[in-house]
Amino acid sequence: MSEANPITFAESLRTVLARYIATTLPISRRYPRLGREFRELLNREQLVQGPYVEALPDFENAIVRASVNRLSSGYFVDPQWARQLSDYANSKRVVDQPQKMREIAAAARKIPPSFFQPVRPMSCSHFAFVAEVMVPAAEKAHAKGVKLDFYFPPIPLATYPVFETRDSLKTAGVDETIFSQLMSFHRCAIIALDRLSREGVKVHAVDTDQSITAHLRYYKDTVHLMDEDKNQRILQDIKGGKYLVTVASLNRYEALLSNQIIANYHRAAR
């Protein structure tokens, strides 16, 4: 289904409404001056306001496609995603992709000195996603009696230097490293969700599990874990509370992950 141009649609709607109003209030041709003044007044009226365009992330459309696909096939998945996941599942591991490995090595050589400095927390106002998406989702889940687990995914330790080379990840007007920005986002999420922890809303720091993050052989790109056994184990460990992080353990979590990343960098540099 093609998407309508909102500006064209608004203009067309205004024309249709004006024509409709004119036909419901007919003025005899014997009164041309009255008819002319009526049309002038009608043209000055704001019959249509807008257009107002709501910006929605791409996944909203994907959810619609997935819902339609469930009606036809019984599977709640976007067919386009299914094809991409199939191609991704059949791709090589990162360690078997020379170009990816060269990218990782090059990023490590360019890492800025600020990367090794302690994380400086940023204002949570930079992370609207926490207040506008995560917290409302948690509150709705609680209202329905649903327990909710958020988790920080196990990004490979070798990938954090790569993040620093990508301008697309940088926040405008912010000089902090990408890692500092990421950790500030995590900090804000943990603090915001902590008040709902007694209601079954928990946050889990899976990104500190070195048995996974220190090994690129479990990944097929530089971010996403694609090892089924490891993903199953993560679910069990989340259930058991292994990765649970709260406001009380927030500083320990930040220090642990920072030390893991720096230690991994020095090991790779040797």
Cβ proximity of 213 and 158 under 8 Å: no
pTM above 0.75, yes or no: no
Element (H, E) at 151: strand 148-152
Tens digits of pLDDT across the chain (270 residues): 344 566 777 778 888 888 888 787 778 888 888 888 888 888 888 777 666 555 444 444 555 666 666 666 666 566 666 666 666 667 889 899 999 999 999 988 888 788 888 888 888 988 888 998 899 988 888 888 888 899 999 999 999 999 888 877 777 677 788 899 999 999 999 999 998 888 888 999 999 999 999 999 999 888 888 888 999 999 999 999 999 999 999 999 999 999 999 998 888 766
**What is the residue whose two structure tokens read 């993050």?**
213
**Where do the domains of the chain lie?**
6-44, 57-90, 92-269
C-alpha dist (Å) from residue 22 to 19, 26, 39: 5, 6, 8
